[in-house]
Structure 1
Amino acid sequence: MDQIASAFFNTDGLLLGTVVPFLFVLAVVVFVHELGHYLVGRWCGIGVKAFSIGFGPEIVGFNDRNGTRWKISAIPLGGYVKFVGDMGVTSSPDAEADRNLSAEERRVAFHTQPVWKRALTVFAGPAFNFLLTIVVFAVLFTAYGRYVIEPMVAEVRAGSPAEKAGFLPGDRFVLANGSRVETFSDVQRIVSGRAGDEITFVILRGGNEVTLKATPEVMEQKDALGNTVRIGAIGVVNNESMGQPRHITYNPGEALVQAVSETGHIIARTGQFLQRFAVGREDRCQLGGPVRIADMAGKAAKAGFEWLVQLVALLSVGIGILNLLPIPPLDGGHLVFYAYEAVVRRPVSERMMEAVYRTGMFLVLAFMGFVFWNDLFGC
């Protein structure tokens, strides 16, 4: 009995070592996303009936002075804000309930608002996810700074794409695919997501700029948390002598600029990954669901609180991007409907909306099933 309790309740056990960090990460990301919807919706004068972290039966909650029910629900895989006039948690109007709305309720109902207010309220969820990531990175850069390495080539691995392209020890990266290279991390960032794509490099050799082309190949390696990842690599190695690692500190303003830049890089890489995945050019095992996230949260918590916070930032970006995909009932699907309404000056017909919602819900459920399969059986 003591062994079972220890397995659950010590810091290396299932409960405190994995479940609690997972719930912390997910709750923060979901809360910030839904807070975006809530705050902007209230700013636009829209009434809010419920704010929930999780789905399903309510575990605990309270009513605020505006009549909004704040609650934590039993299924922690998401959350929602339910506005006045909504049929459910997807902000679709309920025709029957609409007829029973009072004049005051109709004035603050979501579906009676101008299209720009609805669009702004919907977009606020993903936008707050991106803002959360920026804030986290800004705090971390202010507190810890960062280590950078000069973009030098110390070694070229035999038989690698870099050797075939003509790279030599002592080369210094200047450009990669037209992007300016300042550190060796810039090279890794550009190369890692482009396995199989030819990349044009400009390098500095003996005071002269030389143009080389190399096609990254897929390599397996361990990330900072010990997870096996498959990334693109050209086969160049840096070292302390050539790279001259140094620690850079930032004031809050500089840290904010760096945080915005870093968040932009992550958004771009995530979008690039999804595009490549859609055409079968990325390993399906790179996509994971709740089980994978829980495992990563446990590893991050063991590595230190700053690692757990970084995971929050990365997951927040992912949630923001996924919610902007143009698929109902995701936020991006709503935005497509509102764009149509703004252009043609009338909303999408109920029949069309219902058909698209059914299709979108099927796609979302299929995706959820896919990542669950990957978590449990597929990879």
Structure 2
Amino acid sequence: MIEGPGFLITVLSFLLVIGPLVFLHELGHYLAGRACGVKADVFSIGMGQEVVGWTDRRGTRWKIAWLPLGGYVKFAGDMNPANQPSPEWLRLPPEERAKTFQAKPLWQRFIIVAAGPIANFIVAIAIIAGFLIAYGEPRTPPVAAAISAGSPAAAAGLRAGDRIVSVAGRSVTTFDDIVMIVQIRPEEPLAIGFVRDGRPMNAVVTPAAMIERDRFGNEFRKGVLGVASGPRIIAPLKPHEVLGAAVRQTGTILRTMVDTIGQIITGRRSVKELGGPLKIAQISGQQATLGLAKLIMLIAMISINLGFINLLPIPMLDGGHLIFYVLEGIRRRPLPPQAQEWAFRSGLALLLGFMLFVTVNDLGSFGLWRRLAGLIG
């Protein structure tokens, strides 16, 4: 185990990770709004009081706020959380009202809101594409080169030479695909499809749980089958293959995140694994000490996470707004203002409660509660 990064490196790494992602997320909203003819009043990186800022020739106030935990774009006409027209909006001259968010048709408002999460996915795809160009794509065949004695795979009857074609109902084309599916499912029975001597066969394998510790002492519970791969193959990609491969890898990572959240919701994975800003800061500092490439890949992972979280159908998040727009399209009119206001208040309470919970989790992972208990005892 090596010593973790100091406080300064941790803070700087966190800002280097979160700052650009927040900026690019909000830039997605801003550019989509600008393309639709909506005036932006404020573009803020960070929350709270302005530290530094300037106003451009379009009248947009660009500012950096003191608390680097988010950001926002305030469009003209976007006057309350539920995006309901206010008396001030109704009193605007027609030419100014035409440039406001509320004046735009439903499909344009939908695009403007969706553009933020989409920007996060584009960032991740671009980063992964860069890594694929630089290092190539893992293409180790999903063939069992060896089966560990006494392992779950051996108990299920798998043999060396078997070609695995599916795990948990999902097709696999490389050995890395198997690892991605299995490692987040310790002690969970999995249907395995494989081919032996040209004959398709099936088995149910329950991965063993293994505790893995990284060089910083962080512990991860992962599933293992006891199947060894052959020599690792990294294939260079042709230029026209890069984008598709980057999109596939981004989709695989996103699906793994969705699976993990589902496991937490259903109780198959501990809620203690949920982390917040403090945990992200810690991991950012640790990855920074391992080199720039590790930190950049972390940015891609967090960008996917940020895009996914913002698409959740929770009021106050982009996904909540999109759900309201879908309902508006179906009903041919917006939901009643009282219903939207109630939903956004509930969403705010949910988000605040979640932030409090993950902060308590983060402090617990740092050992704070254990040390306090020791002092009290």
User: Given the two structures, how large is their TM-score scaled by the length of structure 1?
Assistant: 0.89
Contact 1:64 1:70 in 2 (8 A): yes
The whole-number CA distance in structure 1 between the counterparts of 2:345 and 2:285 is 36
Q: 1:290 aligns with which of 248, 270, 277?
A: 277
**Deviation of 1:305 (Å):** 1.1
* Residue 44 (1) aligns with residue 31 (2): no
2:355 paired with 1:362: no
Q: Does 1:120 align with 2:123?
A: no
Distance 1:208 1:99 in 2: 71
- For 1:337-348, what aligned pairs fall within 5 Å after superposition? 337-348=324-335
Return the letter of the residue paired with 1:74.
Answer: W
Letter of the 2:302 partner, please give it.
L
Quick one: structure 1 residues 226 and 101, their matched pair in 2 at CA, closer, same or farther if it must change by over 3 Å? farther
Match runs of 1:148-227 below 5 Å: 148-222=139-213, 227=218
Task: Kindly state the Cα deviation for residue 112 of structure 1 after the two structures are TM-superposed.
Answer: 1.9
For residues 82 and 299 of structure 2, what CA distance do their matches in structure 1 show? 26
In structure 2, do the counterparts of structure 1 residues 372 and 74 end up closer, same or farther at CA, with 3 Å as the change threshold? same
Distance 1:137 1:224 in 2: 24
Structure 1 residue 352 corresponds to structure 2 residue 339: yes
1:371 matched to 2:358? The reply is yes
Q: Deviations over 1:243-284 (max 9, x none)?
A: 122331113321211100001111111112222222222121
1:329-366 Cα distance to aligned partner (Å, 9 max, x none): 00011011111111111111111111111111111111
- Of 24, 28, 31, the residue aligned with 1:32 is 24
Once the two structures are TM-superposed, the CA of residue 158 in structure 1 deviates from its matched residue by 4.7
Q: Which amino acid aligns with 1:295?
A: Q
CA distance in 2, matches of 1:156, 1:369: 45
Q: Which of 285, 304, 325 is equivalent to 2:312?
A: 325
CA distance in 2, matches of 1:213, 1:315: 33
CA separation in 1, counterparts of 2:246 and 2:214? 21
State the partner residue of 2:64: 72
Deviation per CA, 1:135-160, whole angstroms, max 9, x where unpaired?
11111111221444332334434544
> Counterpart of 1:297 in structure 2: which amino acid?
S
Q: Are the aligned partners of 1:156 and 1:235 in contact in 2 as well (CA < 8 Å)?
A: yes
2:297 aligned partner: 310
1:243-262 alignment runs, 5 A limit:
243-262=230-249
SS in 1 for 2:98: helix
Q: Give 1:312's aligned amino acid.
A: I
Report how far residue 327 of structure 1 moved: 0.7
Alignment-derived partner of residue 13 in structure 1: 6
Shift of 1:172: 2.8
Equivalent residues, number: 363
1:93-125 superposed Cα distances (whole Å, 9 cap, x missing partner): 462432443323211111121111111100111
Change (3 A) 1:76 1:196: same
The TM-score normalised by the length of structure 2 is: 0.90
Deviation at 1:27, TM superposition (A): 0.9
Correspondence 1:81 to 2:73: yes
**Which stretch has the larger CA shift, 308-317 or 144-153?**
144-153
Contact 1:52 1:79 in 2 (8 A): yes
- The match for 1:5 is none
Question: Which of 90, 96, 101 is equivalent to 1:105?
Answer: 96
Matches within 5 A, 1:260-299: 260-299=247-286
Counterpart Cα distance in 1 of 2:216 and 2:56: 41
Whichever residue aligns with residue 141 of structure 1, its letter is L
Pair 1:209–1:252, CA change in 2 (3 A): same
How far apart are 1:173 and its partner, in Å? 1.7
Moved more, 100-109 or 72-81: 100-109
Runs (5+) with no aligned partner, structure 2: 367-377
3-state secondary structure, aligned to 1:82: strand
Change (3 A) 1:366 1:12: closer
Q: Percent identity, aligned pairs only?
A: 42
Alignment RMSD (CA, Å): 2.2
C-alpha separation in 2, matches of 1:113 and 1:124 = 15
Report the CA distance between 1:164 and its aligned residue. 2.3
Q: In structure 2, give the amino acid aligned to 1:293.
A: I
CA distance in 2, matches of 1:116, 1:223: 47
Is 320-329 or 151-160 further displaced after alignment?
Answer: 151-160
Offset, 1:34: 0.5
Output the CA distance in 2 between the equivalents of 1:245 and 1:228: 26
State the Cα distance separating 1:230 from its structure 2 match.
2.1
**Which amino acid in structure 1 is aligned with residue 265 of structure 2?**
A
Distance 1:100 1:305 in 2: 52
Instruction: Say whether the 8 Å CA contact 2:84–2:337 is kept in structure 1.
Output: no
Q: Deviations over 1:261-319 (max 9, x none)?
A: 00111111111222222222212122111111111111211111111111111001101
